Amino acid sequence: MTGIKAKYTIKDFLPLIVIVVVILLFAVGTTLYSNQDWMFGMRMFMSGFFLVFGLLKASKLSDFAMAYQKYDLIAKRSTTYAFLYPFIEIGLGLLFFSWIASTLTLLLTIVLMLVSAVGVYKKLQQKEEIMCACLGTVFKVPMTWVTLAENLLMVGMATIMLLV
């Protein structure tokens, strides 16, 4: 019996897994500590997600912008957007944390993450192997369906929060 070797292993995604687990622990911890509901927990997860991912992207801004322009639909057309994107994520993280302008925050999240998801989907369809810029260029994580799931998870969570 011949098996097909997996292209990527769990080791390739270890930085992403560790970061998401830490953010999840932050969200669960703050929710339990403050005796809040699951919606608060989702907000804290999204806040942590955008803050950490945005800061990682901003830490090597030029490298991130070049990597992001390879697959994001807007960044391909606007270098300015590619450079601003990490700060948009940081802003979203702060907005989720403070819950100021909640409806606008949720709508902006849905639009940004859907646009990003479409770009990721198109790149995955082309079967071109590139590194994902989701963690900036600090960590080398391959772009796979995990990247698409990441974006759609944010869309789903924002949609639930908007509708509930």
pLDDT tens for 10-23 read 888 899 999 999 99
Q: For 28-51, give one letter per residue: b (16+ CB within 10 A) or e.
A: eebbeeeeeeeeebbbbbbbbbbb
pLDDT tens for 86-124 read 999 999 999 999 999 999 999 999 999 999 999 999 999
| Contact present, 143 and 71 (Cβ < 8 Å) | yes
pLDDT tens for 42-90 read 999 999 999 999 999 999 999 999 999 999 999 999 999 999 999 999 9
The stretch 18-37 carries a mean pLDDT of: 96
